[in-house]
């Protein structure tokens, strides 16, 4: 189980880095909620200039110690005059207390024609309906906001960003299903089997009907200066 998780995580990391390279072949990248810094470390190896934000002390210290990264505890501490070609938030937006204030700060730090990438759980997904209050992506009280696609589109538009594309994140369906089945009281072995079935079904429903998967990645460009 652990080795499979590590392989999936490494694959997801490569996909993220490849996407950044396609959108912006070079430049400065800010990762808000960078955790222990593996994503930024990989970008750094690819000659990007990187900056992290991570409020959790142990994760921040690990990112600095293991990868020699610059990591600040708050977005507000990143100088507004510093402009980034890419800003990423991987499952972070739903944790932010001051949502609109944070969006204004992100806009101020995005370079002209820069790209903002936001990944969030999608409450319009099949598994959100299926699990109801046991849907792990609600993660109350840590998740303060619960988004449908129209909510994110409106939020981006109101803060000077134009949505370029949205992408399904199919691997998230399995991870969220495991946690959701555990919340329902199933043992880990049973949860793994059920998650494989229900995660697959959630992704098939998304492909067949156009519904979102468990999580959606939004890629937007700064348009209002």
C-alpha–C-alpha distance, residues 42 and 32, integer Å:
15
Instruction: Give 110-143 pLDDT, tens digit per residue.
Output: 999 899 999 999 999 999 999 998 988 888 677 8
pLDDT digits (tens, 9 = 90+) for 73-108: 999 999 878 899 999 999 999 999 999 999 999 999
We find that the CATH architecture of domain 13-123+135-171+213-222 is 3-Layer(aba) Sandwich (3.40)
pLDDT at 163 over 90: yes
What pLDDT was estimated at residue 164?
A: 96
pLDDT in tens, 6-44: 777 788 899 999 999 999 999 999 999 999 999 999 999
**Nearest Cα residue to 222 out of 16, 14, 30, 13:** 30
The residues spanned by each domain of the chain are 13-123+135-171+213-222
Q: Which of 23, 25, 79 is nearest to 51 (CA)?
A: 79
Interval 186-215: pLDDT, tens: 999 999 999 999 999 999 999 999 999 999
Residue 154, pLDDT above cutoff 90: yes
pLDDT for res 10: 84
């Amino acid at each position: 189980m652990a080795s499979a998780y590590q392989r999936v995580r490494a694959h997801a990391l490569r996909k993220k880095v490849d996407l950044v390279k396609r959108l912006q072949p070079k430049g400065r990248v800010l990762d808000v909620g960078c955790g222990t810094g593996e994503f930024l470390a990989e970008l750094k190896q690819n000659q990007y200039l990187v900056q992290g934000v991570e409020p959790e002390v142990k994760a921040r210290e690990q990112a600095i110690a293991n990868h020699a990264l610059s990591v600040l505890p708050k977005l507000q501490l990143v100088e507004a005059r510093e402009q980034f070609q890419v800003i990423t938030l991987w499952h972070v937006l739903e944790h932010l207390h001051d949502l609109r204030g944070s969006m204004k700060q992100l806009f101020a730090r995005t370079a002209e024609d820069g790209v903002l990438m936001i990944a969030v759980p999608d409450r319009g997904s099949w598994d959100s309906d299926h699990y109801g209050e046991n849907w792990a992506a609600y993660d109350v009280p840590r998740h303060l906001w619960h988004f449908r696609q129209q909510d994110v589109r409106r939020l981006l538009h109101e803060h000077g960003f134009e949505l370029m594309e949205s992408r399904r994140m199919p691997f998230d369906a399995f991870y969220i299903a495991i946690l959701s089945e555990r919340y329902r009281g199933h043992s880990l072995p049973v949860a793994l089997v059920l998650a494989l079935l229900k995660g697959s079904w959630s992704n098939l429903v998304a492909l067949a009907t156009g519904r979102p998967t468990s999580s959606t990645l939004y890629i937007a460009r700064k348009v209002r200066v």
